[in-house]
A and B are shown apart, each in its own frame.
Chain A
Amino acid sequence: MPEQTLAEAWGLVPAVLGIVAVGVVLGVVVAAVDRVVVFGASGAVVEPIRSSARLLAEQRRTTLAPDRLLWRIGCVAVPTLALLSLAVVPVAGRTLWSTSADLVWFNAMEALLWAAVWLVGWGPNAVHALTGGYRFLAQGLAYELPLMFALITAGLAAGSLRTTDVVAAQEALWLVVTMPVAFVVFVAGAAAFAFWGPFAAPAEADIAGGVTSELSGVDRLLVEAGRAVFLGASAAMAAALFLGGDSGPWLPGPLWHLLKTLAVVAALVWVGRRMPVLRPDRTVEVGWMVLVPLTLLQALVVAVLVLTGFYA
Chain B
Amino acid sequence: MLSDLSGWAITAVAILGVLSVAAGVAVFVVDSMARATFALLASFLAVAGILLALDLVYLAVVTALMMTIEMAIMAVFMIMFMMNPAGLMPMTMVHNAKGSAAVGAGVFVLLAVGIWTIDWPTMNPVRPDDSTRQLGEAIMGSHMLVMLVIGIGLFATILAGTVLATARGRYDRLGPGLDAEHPDDPVPGGLRR
What residues make up the interface of A, taking CB atoms closer than 8 Å to B?
1, 65, 67, 69-70, 73, 99-101, 104-105, 107-108, 111-112, 114-115, 118-119, 122, 125, 134, 137, 140-141, 144, 161, 278-279, 281-286, 289-290
The reply to whether A285 and B61 contact each other, CB–CB distance below 8 Å, is: no
A67 x B132 contact (CB < 8 A):
no
A140 CB contacts on chain B under 8 angstroms? 72
Q: Look across to chain A and name the residue whose beta carbon is closest to the beta carbon of B75.
A: A118
Chain B, range 70-129, C-beta contacts under 8 Å to A: 71-73, 75-76, 86-88, 129
Docked complex Cα distance between A1 and B133 (Å)? 13
> Given known contacts A67-B35, A70-B38, A108-B64, is B132 in contact with A101 (CB within 8 Å)?
yes
Bound Cα distance A140, B71 (Å): 13
Q: A100-B132, A290-B191 are known contacts. Are A105 and B38 too (CB-CB below 8 A)?
A: no
Contact B68 A285 (CB under 8 A): no
| B154 at interface, CB cutoff 8 A | no
A107 and B73 contact, Cβ closer than 8 Å, known pairs A101-B58, A115-B38, A289-B191: no
Residues in chain A near residue B61, CB distance under 8 A: 99, 101, 104-105, 107-108
- Residues on B with C-beta less than 8 A from A105 are 57, 61
Whether B190 pairs with A119 at a CB distance below 8 angstroms is: no
Q: Which residue, of B57, B71, B76, B187, has the highest number of chain A Cβ atoms within 10 A?
A: B57
A100-B58, A111-B65, A125-B86 given; A137·B35 CB < 8 A: no
A186 to B167, CA, bound (A): 36
Q: Which residues of B contact A290 (CB under 8 A)?
A: 191
Q: How far is the CA of A99 from the CA of B58 in the complex (A)?
A: 8
Q: How many angstroms from the CA of A301 to the CA of B133 in the assembled complex?
A: 22
B131 part of interface (Cβ distance < 8 Å): yes
Separation of A76 and B177 alpha carbons in the complex (Å): 55
Cβ–Cβ < 8 Å partners of B73 in chain A: 137, 141
- Contact status B68-A112, CB under 8 Å: yes
11 A-B contacts (beta carbon < 8 Å): A67-B34, A67-B87, A108-B62, A108-B65, A125-B86, A137-B72, A144-B69, A161-B132, A282-B190, A286-B189, A286-B190
Chain B residues within an 8 Å CB radius of A73: 38
Known: A137-B76, A285-B190. 20 other contacts (CB 8 A): A1-B129, A73-B38, A100-B57, A101-B61, A104-B62, A105-B57, A107-B61, A108-B65, A111-B65, A111-B72, A112-B68, A115-B38, A115-B68, A137-B73, A140-B72, A279-B190, A281-B188, A282-B189, A282-B190, A289-B191
- Shortest distance in angstroms between A157's beta carbon and chain B's nearest beta carbon? 16
- Expressed in whole angstroms, the minimum distance between the Cβ of B36 and any Cβ of chain A is 11
Judged by a CB distance under 8 angstroms, whether B41 is at the interface is yes
Inter-subunit contact A100/B133 (CB<8 Å) = yes
Query: B20 within 8 Å of A by Cβ?
Result: no
Which of A100, A122, A140 neighbours the largest number of chain B CB atoms within 10 Å of its CB?
A100
Nearest B residue to A136 by beta-carbon distance?
B72
- B58's nearest neighbour on chain A, judged by CB, is A101
Contact assessment for B38 and A284 in the assembled complex, using a CB-CB cutoff below 8 Å: no
Q: CB-nearest residue of chain B relative to A281?
A: B187
Q: CB within 8 Å of A: which of B44-62?
A: 57-58, 61-62
A285-B189 CB under 8 A given contacts A70-B34, A108-B61, A115-B71? yes
Chain A nearest CB from B56 CB (Å) reads: 9
Q: Taking the complex as formed, is B43 at the interface, i.e. its CB lies under 8 A from any CB of chain A? A: no
From residue B31, how far is it (CB to closest CB) to chain A in Å? 11
A111 contact set on B, CB distance < 8 A = 64-65, 68-69, 72
Q: A67-B32, A70-B35, A112-B68 are in contact. Are A286 and B191 (CB under 8 A)?
A: yes
B172 lies within 8 A of chain A by Cβ: no
Residue of A nearest to B73 (CB): A137
Known: A99-B57, A115-B41. A282 touches B188 (CB 8 A): yes
Say yes or no for B130: interface residue by CB 8 A criterion: yes
In whole angstroms, how far apart are the Cα atoms of A136 and B87 in the complex? Answer: 23
- How far does the Cβ of A189 sit from chain B's closest Cβ, in whole Å? 14
Name the distance in Å between A279's Cβ and chain B's nearest Cβ.
Answer: 8
Complex contacts, A119 vs chain B, CB 8 Å: 34, 38
Tell me whether B58 and A104 are in contact (CB under 8 A).
Answer: yes
Chain A hits for B32, CB < 8 A: 67
Closest to A278 in B: B190
List, in ascending order, chain A residues with CB within 8 A of B71's CB.
115
Docked complex Cα distance between A282 and B185 (Å): 12
Q: Which residues of A contact B133 (CB under 8 A)?
A: 100
- Which A-B residue pairs are the 6 nearest by beta carbons? A285-B189, A282-B190, A100-B132, A108-B65, A101-B58, A99-B57
